[in-house]
Structure 1
């Protein structure tokens, strides 16, 4: 079993100092050094708008200031790693979600206001976007995980169950959202039943060879920390954790495998991804210190 050496960890820290956003540098301090979350939370608050939503390139491919659903998910993942779901940002964000939710309870993938600012070319939407499992399922999952009570959650949960029930060949990103939701949904019998039905379809979206090139999704994208759903065997996870250590760049960072459409996002995604990889290695006991 490989572990990330002290020298490799020092290289990752240096990479973050040279390339990452302040929020990701502070996340690393909290993750590795046990620094209090206060400074991360203070910076995260700067991304939250007066309407309670998040923007300002918290999701690096959405460069504009306007609130969008997906940055709420990004903010909630950060709050999750800090165990800070008691922060007032959560309820304010949920209040905002109520204002952009479709009648069936889902949140759109992206809102038409995205057109007013630079963004990656895949952020497109019709004038009246439908609710989407991305990001509804993952946002609902994190609220359930932390037992947040808010009027947005029950309709969003019902939307997610209904949408999952219609899936039989999910895309990789949709499959990941489904796994997140089924891991934390409070109705465990229903969650395990849907997981059993969809397990093979979900696995069909996963690149099990860690050397697979291109924009693919690996087991650790579905299980960045240990999960209870029996999706991958220990041998698969161990192989990919070894590969993750080997994939660290010469400059100390890890980079995503999807297109970088403008220079700044390469740095921002690189910092975000490097913290995510360090978090995964820590979660699976692969850091030496």
Structure 2
């Protein structure tokens, strides 16, 4: 066991959420997927959506599109089966909360204003925030339905696919931002997405990633899209968008940046917004980030 892994493991297992502990054990120590599902279920509401601070910077217990997208990314990484009751309920939430007139999911509900949150998770002017929710979270949730298409009306899948592809083509070269790119990754890698749609999505996302990635190490202390945020693994579909030299520099940077307690410093804060809620959110986010750093480092053979 490498020192990097041992220290990060200790942090996640002692400071991280039970969900991220179960994910760490699943990815690195043959832990059961069932344990991940059981912990994820604690964040699911009666309406099938997810809330309860699954996204640590959004503390509302109410279901939101973004928290549900977070849940589906976890379901994707463990290869969850559509037959799981948790999955079926989550799909039903997506069908119920989709806005067919606007062809999008609105990223957060009005209730976010009633709980602690980062300043950017605001409902005010939601139509103008997050790029109008055209891709973030809509592309990701369209991908979630392609992951689990059973029970989804084929006409809706066709509509969503056409809509997302049109938006990717229109926005990739100048208006897509980091959140859009991250959301659209789940669409492009959805297990049952038709091959032609996948190829078109991947091409657009590679163009956007090449434009958005920050190559200068001195800028990585800020909330920027680092090379390894795009090239998660050598064989990831966005890896060709990043120069190998930038990937190597970012790997060295992450190894040097690990803190003595095994975590990595965050590149954001909202302590100035809510000094009481932030320490809890920070600890949860650091556990999540530590797990993601380990997955990337392992993919490149650095553990």
Contact 1:141 1:180 in 2 (8 A): yes
Contact 1:60 1:269 in 2 (8 A): yes
Per-residue deviation at 1:179?
4.6
Over residues 14-73 of structure 1, what are the superposed CA-to-partner deviations in whole Å (9 max), with x where a residue is unaligned?
Answer: 212332111111211111110112222111111101100001001111111100001111
User: Which stretch shows the higher mean deviation, 106-115 or 224-233?
Assistant: 224-233
SS at match of 2:212: coil
Contact 2:169 2:204 in 1 (8 A): no
Over residues 206-237 of structure 1, what are the superposed CA-to-partner deviations in whole Å (9 max), with x where a residue is unaligned?
Answer: 11123423111112212323323431243332
Query: Which of 143, 155, 161 matches 1:157?
Result: 161
**Shift in alpha-carbon separation, 1:140–1:124, aligned structure 2, 3 A:** same
1:263 aligns with 2:267: no
Aligned to 1:202: 209
Aligned to 2:96: 99
Over residues 225-256 of structure 1, what are the superposed CA-to-partner deviations in whole Å (9 max), with x where a residue is unaligned?
Answer: 33234312433323322322222112111233
- Taking the TM superposition and a 5 Å limit, the aligned residue runs for 1:21-60 are 21-60=17-56
**Shift in alpha-carbon separation, 1:162–1:113, aligned structure 2, 3 A:** farther
SS at match of 1:256: coil
Aligned to 1:181: 187
Query: Which of 260, 271, 277 matches 1:250?
Result: 260
In 2, Cα distance between equivalents of 1:26 and 1:139: 24
Aligned to 1:285: 301
Query: Which of 82, 86, 104 matches 1:89?
Result: 86
Contact 2:10 2:262 in 1 (8 A): yes
Per-residue deviation at 1:118?
2.0
**Shift in alpha-carbon separation, 1:193–1:13, aligned structure 2, 3 A:** closer
Query: Which of 95, 111, 114 matches 2:112?
Result: 114
Aligned to 2:236: 227
Unpaired segments ≥5 residues, structure 2:
272-277
**Shift in alpha-carbon separation, 1:139–1:219, aligned structure 2, 3 A:** farther
**Shift in alpha-carbon separation, 1:180–1:207, aligned structure 2, 3 A:** farther
Per-residue deviation at 1:166?
2.7
Unpaired segments ≥5 residues, structure 1:
none
Contact 2:91 2:145 in 1 (8 A): no
Query: Which of 48, 62, 65 matches 2:61?
Result: 65
In 2, Cα distance between equivalents of 1:57 and 1:23: 12
Aligned to 1:137: 139
In 2, Cα distance between equivalents of 1:240 and 1:47: 33
Aligned to 1:237: 247
CA RMSD of aligned residues (A): 2.5
SS at match of 2:260: coil
TM-score by length of structure 2 reads: 0.82
**Shift in alpha-carbon separation, 1:116–1:260, aligned structure 2, 3 A:** closer
Contact 2:48 2:89 in 1 (8 A): yes
User: Which stretch shows the higher mean deviation, 252-261 or 48-57?
Assistant: 252-261
SS at match of 2:286: helix
Per-residue deviation at 1:265?
1.0
